[in-house]
Amino acid sequence: MTNVEEKNQRIFWAIFMATFFAMFGETIPQSFQPLFIQNLGVSAAVITLIYNIRNVIQTFLRLVAGTISDSLGRRNMMLFGLALFALVPFIYSVATNPYLPIVAMMASGLALSIYFPPSEAYASSLFPPEKAGEAMGRYHMSWAVSSVIGPAIGGYIASSFLDYETIFVFSGVITCIGFFIAWRYTEDDRDLSCPIPPGMLIRNTFSEFPATMKRLFSNKKVIVACIAVFAHSFCHWGLVTFIPLLGAEIGMTEFWIGLTLTANALSIAISLPIVGKLSDRVGRFLPIVTGLIVSVAAFALVPLAPYHWMLPILNAVLGVCAVLVFPISQAATMESQKPEDRGSATGVWGMIMSLGGTIGMFVMSVVLSVASIQWVFYISAAFTLVSAVVIILMRGYFD
């Protein structure tokens, strides 16, 4: 291994660990966070809207963040995002009304928007172009691994030892570790960045947005990849909200809710390195369609499960389905672009993913205002089925 390869490996693992700790702190409260907000006097429909705040922010900012990182430097954008991640749990820890959770969701949306596009582009740049699938599979495993242990640990502690507020403080401390890892072990990459000044680039980003979209979407593979990730996020992004609400309704403890969320994350962590490499060999179409079709059955069965132990199994299946869709669609997007355009490409992909999650949560909020939580999963199954049919009809776009 050459010195350059060794340095790239070191930087990649620094990004990996920074993402791990940031997401570990983010996922520890997942099993009880919707219940915590509900205890502040908020209905299930309004909780869905509060969670959707960060989706709305991501929809508008991911493209901008990805493009600006090409000028300001991906490391600088990552550090800013990690600092915001660390702030979020501390806001929850002092919340006594629904307004601070709203502020926390805004900070979380900013953190996700600012951190992930540059970190994805940075991690991808450390691998050869032909290994885009492997790079994204390994990268996404960072937050998947943290999501495996975070909800279960948080649920166990909440049901056995500590109150919600104390656990939020603990989560904030964990998240701070990610910031210090990135600050210490990644390198300033501004010398490889676009020479356009940031202020001008921001103006250009907005003025050239229609042309950027036209250029990227002139590639048919980008179109079908974005449709796939839209379908994924429309249904899957709400699981961390709807699983706890469903679990509380059927009498599950925080620990069982945490196990259910952990099962999803565990299957994602196991699948990511396998599916990424597999898609490099068999192509992007087959994994994406398989993930969508299997999701249809899993979503439909969740509200029908007669025993609590069945929910972790079904959520694990949904985790595998998620891996078959979102990192593969991202790889399809990035491999269709030149290396210097990957920041914009992953920004567009992330914007479409966020748009799907945003619209999905708005739709489900309306559903919850007139129907039970079970109908959220039935509608997810129906939407995924329609999306799978559309993707099958567009198979030629993968060629």
What is the CATH topology of the domain spanning 3-398? Growth Hormone; Chain: A; (1.20.1250)
For 252-277, give the secondary structure using H, E and C: CCHHHHHHHHHHHHHHHHHHHHHHHH
41: alpha, beta or left, given left = phi > 0 and alpha = psi -120 to 50? Answer: left
Cβ neighbors of 160 (< 8 A, separation 6 or more) are 255
For residue 25 the two structure tokens come to 């702190």
At 161 the pLDDT is 80
The rounded distance, in Å, linking the Cα atoms of 114 and 121 is 12
Q: Cα(89)–Cα(97) distance, rounded to whole angstroms?
A: 15
Per-residue model confidence as pLDDT tens digits over 6-34? 787 888 999 999 999 999 999 999 999 99
Which pLDDT does position 397 carry in this prediction?
73
The string of DSSP codes covering 158-181 is HHHT--HHHHHHHHHHHHHHHHHH
* Residue range 167-183, pLDDT digits in tens: 999 999 999 999 999 99
> What is the reported pTM?
0.77
Phi, psi for residue 208 in degrees, rounded to 5 = -100, 5
Per-residue pLDDT at 202:
63
Evaluate whether 259 touches 155 at the Cβ level (below 8 Å).
yes
φ, ψ for residue 163, nearest 5 deg: -80, 165
From first to last of its 399 residues, the chain has per-residue pLDDT tens of: 576 677 878 889 999 999 999 999 999 999 999 999 999 999 999 999 999 998 888 777 766 776 676 666 778 889 999 999 999 999 999 999 999 999 999 999 999 888 988 888 788 778 776 676 677 778 878 887 888 889 989 999 998 888 999 999 999 999 999 999 999 988 776 555 555 665 666 676 667 667 666 766 677 778 888 889 999 999 999 999 999 999 999 999 999 999 999 999 888 888 877 887 788 788 888 899 999 999 999 999 999 998 899 999 999 999 999 999 988 888 887 777 666 566 667 767 877 888 898 899 999 999 999 999 999 999 999 999 999 999 999 888 776
Name residues whose C-beta falls within 8 Å of residue 189's C-beta, 6 or more positions apart in sequence: 73, 74, 75, 122
Report whether 252 contacts 377 (CB < 8 A): no
The pLDDT value recorded for residue 88 is 96
What Å distances lie between residue 189 and 44, 118, 119, 186, 290, CA to CA? 44, 11, 12, 9, 38
The dihedral built from the CA positions of residue 383, 389, 392 and 393, taken in this order, carries a sign that is negative
Residue corresponding to tokens 């600006």: 68
Model pLDDT, residue 276: 77
Contact 159, 254 (CB under 8 A): yes
Residues 6+ apart with CB under 8 A from 72: 190, 193, 198
What pLDDT does 74 receive? 79
Residues 6+ apart with CB under 8 A from 74: 118, 119, 121, 122, 189, 193, 343
| Predicted local distance difference test score (pLDDT) of residue 36 | 94
**Tell me, what's the pLDDT at 198?**
58
Separation CA 171–CA 164 (nearest Å): 11
